[in-house]
Copies of this chain bind each other. A is one copy, B any other.
Amino acid sequence: MDIRVQEAPFDYGAETARFTDTCAGVGAVVTFCGIVRNDGGAMDAMEIEHYPGMTERALTQIAEEAGQRWSLEGCLILHRYGRMAPGEKIMMVATASRHRADAFAGADFLMDYLKSRAPFWKKEFSGDGAAWVAAKDEDEAALGRWG
């Protein structure tokens, strides 16, 4: 289990390769990467605030929960904080398993829980000023998929 919370950019391709290489013997790897969108060029930057200490704790709990629900040989969660421009990669998760169903479900579960249970908050900056991103009802509702 590899949990990282950092301000610095990360290399999605290189992390994917490294994660896969360290999960010897697996049959399936799934990765997810979240990227700062720029919807119509309206947004100049995004800033992510987090709760040092609780963040690592929450991500570890989410990864452990995933490992109890599915047969995972490896699990990576990497999430940035601080200021990011459109196009920058915000975070990634990766799961490895013997079978694809576990790898897919594990990654999907990590993302749903991370969205609503890990202490990150996004603020968007544009010509109009700054605004905190509101949580989506659909993100909270998504947790219901996992029973």
Contact = CB atoms under 8 A, between A and B. Distances in A.
Contact of A29 (B17, B33, B101): B33
Interface in A97-139: 98, 100-101, 103-104, 107-108, 111
A98 B89 CA distance: 13
Contacts of A89: 20
- Chain copies in the assembled complex: 2
B27 A20 contact: no
Contacts of A103: 32
A14 interface: yes
Interface in A37-57: 37-38
A31 B28 contact: no
Contacts of A16: 12-13, 16-17, 31
Contact of A28 (B25, B35, B100): B35
Contacts of A27: 34-37
19 contacts: A11-B17, A12-B17, A12-B20, A12-B29, A13-B14, A16-B16, A16-B31, A20-B33, A25-B87, A27-B34, A28-B33, A29-B33, A29-B35, A30-B31, A30-B32, A32-B103, A32-B104, A104-B104, A104-B107
